[in-house]
Amino acid sequence: MMSSDNASTTTPDPIAHAKALMARGEMEAAGQTLVAARDVAATRLAAHNLIEEHFPLLSYGQWMGCPCQISEADDIFKFFAAHPSSLNPIRDYLADGWRTMSELVLLLEEVGHPLLKTQSVLEFASGHGRFTRHLVKALGANRVVANDVVVDSVEFSRKTFGVEGFVSPSVPEQVQWDKQHDLVFVLSLFTHLPASTWSRWLKRIYDMVAPGGVLVFTTHGAEAVFKQNVTLDENGYFFVASSESNAIDGQEYGTTFTSEAFVRARIAETLPEARLLKVAERQFWHHQDAIVIEKP
């Protein structure tokens, strides 16, 4: 009788097997192999991406109506894959991007800056496109610019979604981008910044908003403070040098909690001419507050 160890060494790699079947033109068998491999954690993402590229009828893209490839380096997908509540990490990841879209659309309607009438959007700190793909579906790639400090993430968004993109250095004042946009959307960056760069990033990002446009960014406010049992300092601020990202140093990108008073004070001293349109509690993911600032 064959031992389990020997059996495991003779089990074919399903991804390699599927590629061999595809090379021989046996597409039906290859598709079946990849669908099965998509349900196994070790081969899930590789199988998913091959299906998205070669098997549209088996893909998520055919019913979501947008490119659904996911980067192997995507820390947000890894978060979903490791979360005990996620029974289908691929579907949960893609659906969560659409959830962000609905949350943003509702917020912008409320403040009188509807998304579909926005001619130019900069998604700052866009990661590997969890939300970008849905933004492109709504607006078209020509109206969207993606940005991140991680080179690979910007390259992935350019290649996969067809957007323009640029990479930021870790120092705000060194960002070289002169274009301005009707909407600059910053989801979960100010939830990670140390005190030394929080206001500096606010100023530099605001510079990229066109006159009459809006900046939307999120913070870990009262709900997140309560859920995580965090104690803010006398300024209404707390930072720990740790996050879900493996690509950025924790001292530059940790986890940050701020009071509404802290946020309002930083806006007043950093952007005195700006108009604060709304502070929307728990607007994103039911625990991040949204801040909407209009540039005169």
Q: What is the pLDDT of residue 247?
A: 57
Give start and end residues of each alpha helix (H) in 128-185.
132-139, 151-161
Residues 6+ apart with CB under 8 A from 141: 161, 162, 163
Helix (H) or strand (E) holding 284: strand 275-284
pLDDT digits (tens, 9 = 90+) for 234-272: 999 999 987 665 556 657 789 999 999 999 999 999 999
pLDDT given at position 241: 87
Rounded to 5°, angle at Cα 109 from 105 and 112? 140
Report whether 245 contacts 75 (CB < 8 A).
Answer: yes
The confidence score (pLDDT) of residue 107 equals 98
Give the residue ranges of DSSP H helices in 11-150.
Answer: 14-23, 27-38, 44-54, 61-64, 75-82, 89-110, 132-139
pLDDT of residue 231: 97
User: How far from the centroid of its chain's Cα atoms is residue 53's Cα?
Assistant: 22
| All residues at 6 or more sequence positions from 233 whose CB lies less than 8 Å from its CB, including other chains | none
Distance CA 203, CA 42 (A): 43
186, β-bridge pairs: 217
Which pLDDT belongs to residue 244? 61
What pLDDT score does 253 carry? 83
pLDDT value at residue 195: 95
Give the chain's residues under pLDDT 50. Answer: 1-8
Q: How far apart are CA 158 and CA 160, in angstroms?
A: 6
Nearest partner of 252 among 150, 129, 139, judged by Cα: 150
Name the amino acid, one letter, at 70.
Answer: I
Distance CA 296, CA 141 (A): 27
Tell me what pLDDT residue 8 has.
45
